[in-house]
Amino acid sequence: MANQVNIAIIGLGFGAEFIPIYQKHPDANCYAICQRNEKTLNEIGNAFGIEKRYTRYEDVLNDPDVDAVHINTPIAVHGSMSIAGLQAGKHVACTVPMATTVEECLKIVEEQKRSGKHYMMMETAVYTREFLYAKDLVDSGTLGTIQFLRGSHQQNMGLPGWPSYWYGFPPMHYATHAVSPLAALAGKRVESVTCLGSGRIQDDYIQHYNAPYAIETALMKFGDSNLSCEVTRSLFNTIRQYRESFDVYGTDLSFEWEQLFEEGCVIYSGYEDAKRVEIPDYAHLLPPEIQSFTQAGVYDEEHEHTSFIQGSGHGGSHPHLSHEFLQAILQDRPPMPDAATSANWTMAGICSHDSAMHGGKWIEIPQ
């Protein structure tokens, strides 16, 4: 249909979770899928009834019927694949992070401007139920004036089974889940950072990226603002239950992420009053056809590589991300986050790691 966007999904591990969302979205046609492993490609294509199948990204970009690509590939190629997509005249959505170098981030922004196509980093953290709830507190004025923000993303990935490129990965090179909600709630871009590393990961991990620190913690200054924030990131040799969190402290109210899974987030009011809150779902913001995808789905044993045939992880964010990308294309407006914002959130982490490797040196973020 003329008013539908032909989407090609690139990478079918995590990426397969988006297939049924695009298939049911009234403004999308899940037109093609791309996966290097032909056996997996055909299994997923058959499971979802998708006829157009590619094993080469270059062939997707050469297909004139593809309007947009949604990239879900290993981190190292996010930058190059996004650049190639924009240069081929496609709209580009890409899972986080945008890239692993400042140069690639800036190049994506340049290619987005040159091509006139839209780029969106598919940052789950700014479409979770918790973020949308906190955003309501900020936008309504209930929280008052923001005074400080804190974010953390702690994950112990030391167990076998992860793709090999993960081991020893610099923590702040994958910091967008912690940076993005803080910058989005502040409504500002990160201007400068200082970061310190702490502890040490095992030697066989260090040799992969020459990144020795177990934890990296940054202070980030927002531009055109009196606000700053703190971001902590860890990946290896540090014991903690998985947590992707943000806290926001205001003059009238403060919001803190739960300490333990399913313990519940906390609202502070008055001087010392505190209460746990039940975070509502925000499915009403979506077209009826995809509202059910904000809820966790049922595991499909027959096609286990698709993880959740129906439903959404990451706090119900997946259908919100897909919807925003599609509406940005159809309305010809910048998505949230657009290329420049995505670059800022990603470069804040890249520059933080650089700061840690130079003893906490203050570094200005390219704007």
Give the CA radius of gyration of the chain: 20
Using CA atoms of 328, 77, 97, 329 in order, give the dihedral in degrees to the nearest 10: 0
222-246 confidence digits (pLDDT tens): 999 999 999 999 999 999 999 999 9
147 three-class SS: strand
pLDDT of residue 312: 55
Which residues are 219's β-sheet partners?
A: 194, 230
Residue 301 has pLDDT above 70, yes or no: no
Q: Are 193 and 350 in contact (CB under 8 A)?
A: no
Write down the mean pLDDT value for the chain.
94
Residue 294 has pLDDT above 60, yes or no: yes
Is the alpha carbon torsion for 36, 83, 118, 78 positive or negative? positive
The residues, ordered by sequence, that sit 6+ positions from 183 with a Cβ below 8 Å of its Cβ are: 189, 190, 222, 229, 341, 344, 345, 348
15-28 confidence digits (pLDDT tens): 999 999 999 999 99
Q: What pTM was computed for the model?
A: 0.94
110-169 confidence digits (pLDDT tens): 999 999 999 999 999 999 999 999 999 999 999 999 999 999 999 999 888 899 999 999
- What value, to the nearest 5°, has the Cα angle with vertex 281 and ends 16 and 75? 35
Domains of the chain: 5-123+299-336 (3.40.50.720), 126-281+347-364 (3.30.360.10)
Query: How many other C-beta atoms can be found within 10 angstroms of the C-beta atom of residue 131?
Result: 23
The C-alpha atoms of residue 181 and residue 204 are separated, in whole angstroms, by 33
Name residue, tokens 């505190």: 274
pLDDT of residue 271: 85
Q: Are 68 and 92 in contact (CB under 8 A)?
A: yes
- What value, to the nearest 5°, has the Cα angle with vertex 89 and ends 83 and 93? 55
268 three-class SS: strand
Q: Residue range 318-324: average pLDDT?
A: 98
pLDDT of residue 295: 87
Which class for 49: exposed (0-12), middle (13-18), buried (19 or more C-beta within 10 A)?
exposed
